[in-house]
Structure 1
Amino acid sequence: MPVPSVAVVAFNHFSPFHFSVPCIVFGDVLPGHKLFDLKICAGEPGEKRSRQGFSIDTSFGLEELAQADIVIVPYWRDPAEKPNQELLDVLVAAHRRGALVVGLCLGTYVLAYAGLLDGRKAGTHWEFEQDFVTRFPRVHLDTNALYVEDDRLVTSAGTAAGLDCCLYLVHREHGRAIANKVARRMVIPPHREGGQAQFIEQSVPVSTRDANINNLLDYLRNNLNKAHSLDELADYSLMNRRTFTRHFQKATGRSVGAWLMSERLQRSQELLETTSHSIESVAELVGFQSAASFRQHFRSRFNVTPTEWRRTFQAGSVH
Structure 2
Amino acid sequence: MHTVAVLALDQVIPFDLTVAIDTFGWARLPDGRAAYRVRVCSSAQEVTAAAGAFTVRAPYGLDALAEADTIILPGVADPTAPLPPEVAEAVRTAAANGTRIASICVGAFVFAATGLLDGLRATTHWVAAQDLAAMYPKVTVDPNVLYVDNGQFLTSAGAAAAMDMCLHMIRLDHGSAVAAHTARHCVMPLEREGGQAQFIVHDQPPAPAGATLEPLLDWLEESCARDLTLDEIAARAGMSTRTLNRRFREQTGTTPLQWLHRARVRRAQYLLETTPYPVERIAEQVGFGSPTAFRERFRRVVGTSPQAYRRAFKSTNGA
**TM-score band, normalised by the shorter chain?**
0.5 to 0.7
Q: Assess if the C-alpha contact under 8 Å between 1:167 and 1:191 holds in 2.
A: no
What is the SS of the residue equivalent to 1:25? helix
Counterpart amino acid of residue 48 in structure 1:
V
Task: Verify: 1:168 aligned to 2:179, yes or no.
Answer: no
Partner residue in 2 for 1:90: 90
Once the 2 structures are TM-superposed, how far is the Cα of residue 169 of structure 1 from its aligned partner?
A: 1.0
The unaligned stretches of length 5 or more in structure 1 are 212-244, 263-319
Q: Assess if the C-alpha contact under 8 Å between 2:69 and 2:100 holds in 1.
A: yes
Aligned residues: percent identity?
35
Distance in 2 (alpha carbons) for counterparts of 1:201 and 1:45: 37
Partner residue in 1 for 2:4: 6
Partner residue in 1 for 2:111: 111
1:132-143 matched pairs, under 5 angstroms: 132-143=132-143
Q: Assess if the C-alpha contact under 8 Å between 1:168 and 1:191 holds in 2.
A: no
Once the 2 structures are TM-superposed, how far is the Cα of residue 130 of structure 1 from its aligned partner?
A: 1.2
Give the TM-score of the pair, scaled to structure 2.
0.60
What is the SS of the residue equivalent to 2:46? coil
What is the SS of the residue equivalent to 2:155? strand
Distance in 2 (alpha carbons) for counterparts of 1:99 and 1:63: 13
Partner residue in 1 for 2:46: 47
What is the SS of the residue equivalent to 1:48? strand
Partner residue in 1 for 2:150: 150
Distance in 2 (alpha carbons) for counterparts of 1:167 and 1:83: 28
Match among 24, 27, 31 for residue 25 of structure 2 = 27
Partner residue in 2 for 1:209: 276
What is the SS of the residue equivalent to 1:111? helix
Q: Assess if the C-alpha contact under 8 Å between 2:27 and 2:178 holds in 1.
A: no
Partner residue in 2 for 1:56: 56
Counterpart amino acid of residue 209 in structure 1:
P
Q: Assess if the C-alpha contact under 8 Å between 1:7 and 1:65 holds in 2.
A: yes
Q: Assess if the C-alpha contact under 8 Å between 2:14 and 2:53 holds in 1.
A: no
Deviations 1:5-51 (Å, cap 9, x if unpaired)?
10001122121111100100111444933111111111x22531222
Distance in 2 (alpha carbons) for counterparts of 1:26 and 1:191: 18
Distance in 2 (alpha carbons) for counterparts of 1:46 and 1:59: 7
Counterpart amino acid of residue 10 in structure 1:
A
Q: Assess if the C-alpha contact under 8 Å between 2:45 and 2:61 holds in 1.
A: no
Once the 2 structures are TM-superposed, how far is the Cα of residue 89 of structure 1 from its aligned partner?
A: 0.8
Once the 2 structures are TM-superposed, how far is the Cα of residue 188 of structure 1 from its aligned partner?
A: 1.8
Aligned length: 211
Distance in 2 (alpha carbons) for counterparts of 1:107 and 1:187: 24
Counterpart amino acid of residue 96 in structure 1:
A
RMSD across aligned C-alpha pairs, in angstroms?
Answer: 3.1
Distance in 2 (alpha carbons) for counterparts of 1:63 and 1:129: 31
Distance in 1 (alpha carbons) for counterparts of 2:89 and 2:115: 10
Once the 2 structures are TM-superposed, how far is the Cα of residue 53 of structure 1 from its aligned partner?
A: 3.1
Give the ranges of 4+ consecutive aligned residues of structure 1 lying more than 6 Å apart after TM superposition: none
Once the 2 structures are TM-superposed, how far is the Cα of residue 191 of structure 1 from its aligned partner?
A: 4.6
Which structure has the greater CA radius of gyration?
Answer: 2
The unaligned stretches of length 5 or more in structure 2 are 199-271, 279-289, 300-304, 309-319
What is the SS of the residue equivalent to 1:178? helix
Once the 2 structures are TM-superposed, how far is the Cα of residue 133 of structure 1 from its aligned partner?
A: 0.9
Q: Assess if the C-alpha contact under 8 Å between 1:180 and 1:191 holds in 2.
A: no
Deviations 1:240-268 (Å, cap 9, x if unpaired)?
xxxxx97xx99xx99xxxx9xx9xxxxxx
What is the SS of the residue equivalent to 1:189? coil
Deviations 1:170-217 (Å, cap 9, x if unpaired)?
11111222211111122122251114xxxx699xx9xx9369xxxxxx
Counterpart amino acid of residue 158 in structure 1:
G
Distance in 2 (alpha carbons) for counterparts of 1:122 and 1:92: 17
